[in-house]
């Protein structure tokens, strides 16, 4: 009998000792955010996140949705954009576009898609254009019904970033082109050749379109790196009137993003493994090749605070951080964000 | 679901009624359940379990027969201390042992390493349990035993011939469109013996699950799996000479559904392999020599039309070995082996054919002293590779009988290695041909006690410590491509305990109660980059605690098998974020088996319920696992 008791005590001890008493934290109130940091997350875990920071109070949240609802954000985030007073977040796994109130981040609508969306840009008339990652197309989304409406517009393979500027939506493609779509007719205008790996697009002075091209890393027939045949990254500037690249700023390295100051006269370009470069947007010349001695996953500029924000990734299994810099490149503060920050969305009152 | 339950209940009742009027004539078909008599092959140390220097778990043929409709991944998950990273029915299943990764667990078929040389791991969902006679898990198996790849031990699969001469056919059906047929047989004539094991399955795997992301019940789609497996062998024995040749053909076609967050997966994978092992054993004087010749050819093809991905890979391998045992006296057994292998991979993911040549020499004598109370097992193995150099793997194992046949103290020290996989060396882009092997220092110490509790019992307590250096990690480089680097330093330490009771109730019921629990703390010990917050935290997907228990009861024509497993919380991030962790879960499985003989034919009916508690759980994040499900099988065996 004594021996049986020992057995049962052992079993009971093992069960009790292994109980897990952790409980999830209660949802909290959302501070009014000044900036949202869009974090990609790990594809296999769909743990993208929207982080927030308030410049006045210094309050921050790594995952605003988790703090608000008690459940973490679900999705592998591809991109985001602000349309009027709403934040649109594009995810794969699941293939969705989630629409949040910009101030409260209350979920207002969700578009369930049958394809893998990559990016979204407003297209006027209550529509937005959404790029489809795997079928070389862009489709129109009715923002009222959240349904796909118009036929597909075929662009280049693996359409990437999109930008609406002056009645045109620009789409960077995996075949080193940028497609220019007329918003009014929702028709493809032209595929404009740019550098390899076009990604982020911004509108610069004089309506010129600046395209960040990541470049091309060459390998020889044996699979070994062949740096002599690399095509360095750079900024390709498109003149919409000419529908062609008019300038190519060879920055080298592998640029990941670009941000411009509120005067639109200085651009900050971030890289995967080299320092932040500044470019005079009027002369289109590099000003400083090592403005900030650090590489970033994403870069942003806040006009209200006159600061540069750099998103640092610590891989896909732990949170990253955002470091804030003054206009002379001095780091002044930082806050924790989600996994792999890719974009900044600034909230203006 | 209720209709399904009625259907299975009716079938079960029919089976019971079918057998019940023949109780008086029933015969015992299964044998007794004495684990200690099993020959230990997983450690390469020719001693009973009690004299081994490390802990060895054995899943015997009786347990396997009660789980014959499962795959080896499911069997290991419910019957061993291994943590199986199972993506659900139809999905890949890999193993984590003592907190380390799947590529650090060596899988052996009849002593031959069968981990893919491309990825360095085995998918256990492709291995039907019905093909194998025993499975042995040696968590502390050193590289000196069977070569590199065993930083956290080895799993040894045996497919011995059947114990009968005859033919056996079986058919099983299960929930969510699971269907499996088997044909086994053996015939002996004079000195010759021919045997066959085969299994064919067609599984829809369209089970219902709760999708916690969308808060709704859904059905798994694009999850069909088709498998065919045949192991055929021929043997010849005369005097002290034995020859045996086995051929294993496996073919699998899988649809891959992806996570429960993806609704439009179009990917699929085809796996095909042919393995041929020949073994000749003879004596020259007092020395026993064993020669092996092994060849295999495997294809692994992956297609994803949506992402325009088409990966075609063919692996070929040839291995020869010559081993000897020579008993110098009652205290010294001299053993060793010379072996060589040639591996080659052709795939559109590499540039051209990639090959590896390997030569190995092993000396692993066994010593007994102090009236057989002390067993000492030193071993030294040299592995020379043409692509990354030469590795020495020393081991020292000891077993000391503190009380003869009652209490044993045992332990082992070893330095082990894991060769870089072909993918790490040659994947385009990113592969690095200059990678070094992963190295580890392993230590294990424990006690085994055989008290007379409840007739006969075994108690084990094992502690272990593994320190892995030069661990491989894939990180993005300056071009944005993921490349492997020898940067990880991982420490894994923990405790394992087990308790087995074998006893008889009312002279007719033979019962075996097994319990085991383990604690693992596996962590990164050196920062891999500035600000690495993984330090000191539990590695992702590794539960700190596991507990499992099983009760096997057997009475003449009737057997019952109940299995329980509790798995602790697992974290999916380096920083142990609670919000994205996977909750602990309890699983309970029950199997009932009836055996009866009619007209010289043995019939065996088996029915089982898996996940009896209807637990909603995930082993891998966003991969659904089935709720309560059932199977029913009938096997007929005719002995010549």
**What's residue A349's pLDDT?**
66
Number of A to B CB contacts under 8 A, please give it. Answer: 131
Chain B hits for A22, Cβ within 8 Å: 569, 578
Whether the pLDDT of residue A17 is over 80: the answer is no
Give the pLDDT band of residue A162 (cuts 50, 70, 90).
very high
User: In Å, how far is A67's CA from the nearest CA of chain B?
Assistant: 10
> What's the rounded mean pLDDT across residues B48-70?
93
Query: What are the tens digits of pLDDT across the range B266-284?
Result: 999 999 999 999 999 999 9
Query: What are the tens digits of pLDDT across the range B104-133?
Result: 999 999 999 999 999 999 999 999 999 999
User: In Å, how far is B297's CA from the nearest CA of chain A?
Assistant: 24
**What's residue A31's pLDDT?**
52
Instruction: Please give the share of chain A, as a percent, with pLDDT higher than 90.
Output: 76
Within 8 A by CB and 6+ apart from B365, the residues are: B332, B333, B334, B335, B336, B377, B378
Residue of B nearest to A72 (CA): B579
Q: Do B233 and B276 touch, CB atoms closer than 8 A? A: no
**What's residue B454's pLDDT?**
65
pTM for the full predicted model: 0.88
Chain A hits for B517, Cβ within 8 Å: 14, 18
Residue A300 to residue A289: CA distance in whole angstroms: 18
> What's the rounded mean pLDDT across residues B57-61?
93
> What's the rounded mean pLDDT across residues B233-252?
96
Compare B478 and B239 and report the one with higher pLDDT.
B239
> What's the rounded mean pLDDT across residues B407-421?
96
**What's residue B474's pLDDT?**
83
**What's residue B27's pLDDT?**
32
**What's residue B480's pLDDT?**
66
Within 8 A by CB and 6+ apart from A16, the residues are: none
By Cβ distance, the residue of B264, B574, B584 closest to A114 is B264
> What's the rounded mean pLDDT across residues B558-584?
95
Query: What are the tens digits of pLDDT across the range A179-237?
Result: 999 998 889 999 999 999 999 999 999 999 999 999 988 888 777 778 889 888 999 99
Interface of B with A in 191-220 (CB under 8 A): 213-214
> What's the rounded mean pLDDT across residues B518-539?
92
**What's residue B624's pLDDT?**
94
State whether the Cα torsion B110-B113-B115-B121 is positive or negative: positive
**What's residue B47's pLDDT?**
92
Contact A317 B534 (CB under 8 A): yes
User: In Å, how far is B574's CA from the nearest CA of chain A?
Assistant: 5
By Cβ distance, the residue of A11, A22, A94 closest to B515 is A11
- Residue count of chain B: 640
The continuous run of DSSP H or E covering B8 comes out as: helix B2-20
Contact A94 B351 (CB under 8 A): no
Within 8 A by CB and 6+ apart from B87, the residues are: B93, B619, B620, B623
**What's residue B607's pLDDT?**
97
Chain A hits for B533, Cβ within 8 Å: 314, 318-319
The continuous run of DSSP H or E covering A5 comes out as: helix A2-17
Chain B hits for A311, Cβ within 8 Å: none
> What's the rounded mean pLDDT across residues A48-64?
95
By Cβ distance, the residue of A11, A273, A321 closest to B549 is A11
User: How high is the ipTM of this complex?
Assistant: 0.84
Contact B566 A317 (CB under 8 A): no
**What's residue B2's pLDDT?**
41
User: In Å, how far is A252's CA from the nearest CA of chain B?
Assistant: 11
Query: What are the tens digits of pLDDT across the range B431-456?
Result: 899 999 999 999 999 999 999 876 77
Most confident of A24-28, B26-30, B483-487: B483-487
Residue of B nearest to A41 (CA): B573
Residue B307 to residue B284: CA distance in whole angstroms: 60
Query: What are the tens digits of pLDDT across the range B600-618?
Result: 999 999 999 999 999 999 9
Give the pLDDT band of residue B306 (cuts 50, 70, 90).
confident
Query: What are the tens digits of pLDDT across the range B313-326?
Result: 999 999 999 999 99
Mean pLDDT (chain B) is 91
User: In Å, how far is B350's CA from the nearest CA of chain A?
Assistant: 7
Instruction: Please give the share of chain A, as a percent, with pLDDT higher than 70.
Output: 90
Residue B121 to residue B85: CA distance in whole angstroms: 12
Residue B215 to residue B218: CA distance in whole angstroms: 9
| Residue B26 DSSP symbol | -
Biggest CA–CA distance in chain A, Å, is 94
Instruction: Please give the share of chain B, as a percent, with pLDDT higher than 90.
Output: 80
Chain A hits for B214, Cβ within 8 Å: 94
* Sheet of A168-172, strands arranged across: A162-165, A168-172, A177-182, A187-193
Burial class (CB within 10 angstroms; exposed 0-12, middle 13-18, buried 19+) of B194? middle
Whether the pLDDT of residue A25 is over 70: the answer is no
Query: What are the tens digits of pLDDT across the range B15-44?
Result: 333 333 333 333 333 333 344 467 888 999
**What's residue A219's pLDDT?**
80
Mean pLDDT (chain A) is 89
Compare A71 and B492 and report the one with higher pLDDT.
B492
Contacts within 8 Å (CB) and 24+ apart, A136-141: A136/A173, A138/A162, A138/A169, A138/A171, A138/A179, A138/A181, A139/A115, A140/A186, A141/A97, A141/A111
Compare B528 and B196 and report the one with higher pLDDT.
B196
Query: What are the tens digits of pLDDT across the range A305-344?
Result: 999 999 999 988 899 999 999 999 999 999 999 999 999 9
Give the pLDDT band of residue B203 (cuts 50, 70, 90).
very high
| Residue A152 DSSP symbol | P
Compare A301 and A151 and report the one with higher pLDDT.
A301
Q: Do B97 and B634 touch, CB atoms closer than 8 A? A: no
> What's the rounded mean pLDDT across residues B448-477?
88
- Best mutation target among A214, A317, A334 (most B Cβ atoms within 10 Å) is A317
**What's residue B262's pLDDT?**
87
By Cβ distance, the residue of B214, B426, B532 closest to A223 is B426
Within 8 A by CB and 6+ apart from A195, the residues are: A176, A211, A213, A215, A231, A233, A234, A236, A248
Residue B482 to residue B418: CA distance in whole angstroms: 21
Q: Do A129 and A123 touch, CB atoms closer than 8 A? A: yes
Give the pLDDT band of residue B375 (cuts 50, 70, 90).
very high
**What's residue B271's pLDDT?**
97
Instruction: Please give the share of chain B, as a percent, with pLDDT higher than 70.
Output: 93
């Amino acid at each position: 009998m004594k021996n049986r008791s020992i057995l049962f005590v052992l079993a009971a001890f093992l069960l009790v000792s292994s109980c897990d008493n952790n409980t999830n934290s209660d949802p909290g109130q959302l501070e009014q955010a000044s900036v949202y940091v869009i974090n990609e997350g790990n594809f296999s875990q769909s743990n993208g996140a929207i982080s927030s920071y308030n410049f006045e109070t210094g309050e921050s949240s790594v995952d605003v949705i988790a703090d608000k609802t008690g459940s973490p954000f679900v999705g592998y985030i591809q991109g985001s954009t602000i349309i009027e007073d709403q934040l649109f977040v594009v995810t794969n796994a699941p293939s969705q576009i989630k629409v949040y109130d910009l101030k409260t981040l209350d979920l207002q609508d969700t578009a369930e898609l049958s394809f893998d969306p990559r990016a979204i840009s407003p297209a006027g008339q209550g529509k937005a254009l959404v790029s489809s990652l795997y079928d070389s197309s862009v489709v129109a989304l009715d923002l009222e019904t959240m349904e796909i409406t118009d036929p597909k517009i075929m662009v280049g393979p693996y359409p990437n970033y999109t930008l609406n500027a002056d009645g045109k939506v620009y789409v960077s493609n995996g075949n080193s082109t940028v497609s220019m779509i007329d918003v009014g007719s929702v028709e493809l205008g032209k595929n404009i050749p740019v550098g390899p790996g076009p990604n982020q697009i911004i509108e610069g002075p004089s309506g010129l379109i600046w395209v960040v091209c990541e470049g091309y890393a060459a390998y020889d027939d044996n699979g070994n790196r062949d740096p002599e045949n690399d095509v360095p990254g750079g900024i390709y500037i498109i003149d919409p009137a000419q529908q062609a690249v008019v300038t190519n700023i060879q920055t080298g390295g592998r640029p990941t993003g670009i941000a411009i100051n509120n005067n639109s006269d200085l651009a900050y370009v971030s890289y995967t493994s080299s320092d932040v470069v500044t470019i005079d947007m009027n002369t289109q010349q590099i000003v400083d090749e090592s403005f900030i001695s650090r590489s970033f996953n994403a870069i942003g500029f806040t006009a209200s605070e006159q600061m540069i924000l750099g998103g640092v990734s610590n891989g896909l299994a732990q949170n990253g951080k955002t470091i804030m810099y003054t206009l002379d490149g001095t780091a002044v503060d930082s806050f924790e964000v989600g996994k792999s920050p890719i974009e900044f969305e600034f909230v203006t009152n | 679901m209720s209709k399904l339950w009625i259907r299975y209940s009716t079938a079960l009742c029919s089976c019971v009624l079918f057998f019940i009027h023949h109780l008086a004539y029933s015969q015992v078909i299964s044998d007794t359940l004495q684990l200690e008599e099993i020959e230990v092959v997983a450690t390469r140390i020719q001693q009973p379990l009690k004299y081994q220097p490390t802990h060895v778990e054995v899943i015997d043929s009786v347990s396997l027969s009660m789980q014959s409709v499962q795959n080896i991944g499911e069997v290991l998950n419910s019957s061993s201390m291994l943590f199986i990273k199972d993506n659900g029915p139809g999905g890949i299943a890999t193993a984590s042992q003592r907190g380390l990764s799947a590529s650090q667990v060596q899988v052996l078929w009849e002593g031959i390493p069968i981990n893919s040389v491309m990825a360095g791991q085995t998918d256990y969902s492709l291995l039907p349990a019905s093909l194998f006679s025993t499975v042995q898990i040696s968590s502390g198996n050193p590289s000196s035993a069977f070569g590199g790849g065993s930083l956290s031990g080895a799993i040894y699969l045996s497919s011995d011939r059947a114990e009968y001469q005859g033919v056996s056919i079986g058919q099983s059906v299960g929930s969510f469109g699971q269907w499996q047929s088997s044909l086994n047989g053996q015939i002996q004539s004079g000195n010759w013996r021919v045997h066959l094991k085969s299994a064919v399955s067609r599984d829809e795997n369209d089970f219902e699950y709760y999708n916690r992301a969308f808060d709704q019940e859904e059905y798994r789609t694009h999850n069909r799996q088709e498998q065919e497996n045949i192991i055929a062998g021929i043997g010849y024995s005369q005097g002290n000479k034995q020859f045996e040749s086995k051929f294993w053909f496996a073919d699998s076609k899988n649809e891959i559904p992806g996570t429960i967050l993806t609704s439009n997966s179009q990917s699929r994978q085809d796996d095909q392999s042919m393995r041929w092992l020949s073994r000749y054993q003879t004596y020259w004087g007092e020395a026993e020599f064993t020669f092996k010749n092994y060849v295999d050819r495997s294809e692994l093809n992956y297609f994803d039309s949506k992402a325009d991905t088409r990966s075609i890979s063919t692996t070929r391998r040839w291995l020869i070995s010559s081993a000897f045992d020579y008993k110098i006296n009652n205290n010294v057994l001299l053993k060793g082996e010379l072996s060589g292998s040639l591996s080659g991979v052709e795939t559109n993911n590499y540039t051209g054919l990639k090959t590896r040549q390997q030569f190995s020499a092993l000396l692993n004598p066994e010593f007994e002293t102090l009236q057989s109370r002390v067993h000492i097992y030193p071993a030294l193995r040299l592995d020379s590779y043409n692509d990354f150099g030469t590795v020495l793997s020393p081991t020292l194992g000891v077993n000391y009988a503190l009380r003869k046949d009652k209490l044993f103290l045992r332990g082992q020290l070893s330095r082990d290695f894991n060769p870089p996989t072909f993918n790490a060396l040659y994947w385009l882009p990113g592969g690095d041909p200059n990678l070094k092997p992963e190295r580890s220092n392993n230590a294990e110490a424990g006690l085994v006690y055989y008290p007379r509790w409840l007739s006969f019992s075994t108690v084990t307590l094992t502690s272990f410590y593994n320190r892995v250096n030069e661990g491989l990690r894939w990180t993005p480089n300056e071009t944005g491509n993921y490349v492997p680097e020898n940067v990880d330093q991982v420490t894994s330490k923990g405790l394992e305990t087990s308790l087995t009771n074998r006893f008889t109730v009312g002279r007719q019921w033979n019962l075996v109660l097994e319990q085991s629990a383990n604690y693992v703390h596996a962590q990164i010990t050196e920062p891999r980059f500035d600000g690495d917050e993984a330090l000191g935290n539990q590695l992702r997907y590794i539960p700190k605690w596991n507990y499992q228990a099983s009760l096997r009861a057997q009475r003449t024509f009737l057997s019952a098998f109940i299995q329980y497993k509790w798995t602790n919380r697992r974290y999916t991030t380096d920083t142990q974020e609670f919000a994205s962790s996977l909750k602990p879960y309890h699983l309970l499985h029950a199997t009932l088996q009836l055996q009866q003989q009619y007209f010289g034919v043995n019939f065996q009916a088996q029915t089982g319920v898996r996940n009896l508690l209807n637990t909603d759980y995930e082993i891998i994040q966003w991969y659904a696992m089935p709720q309560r499900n059932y199977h029913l099988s009938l096997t007929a065996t005719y002995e010549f």
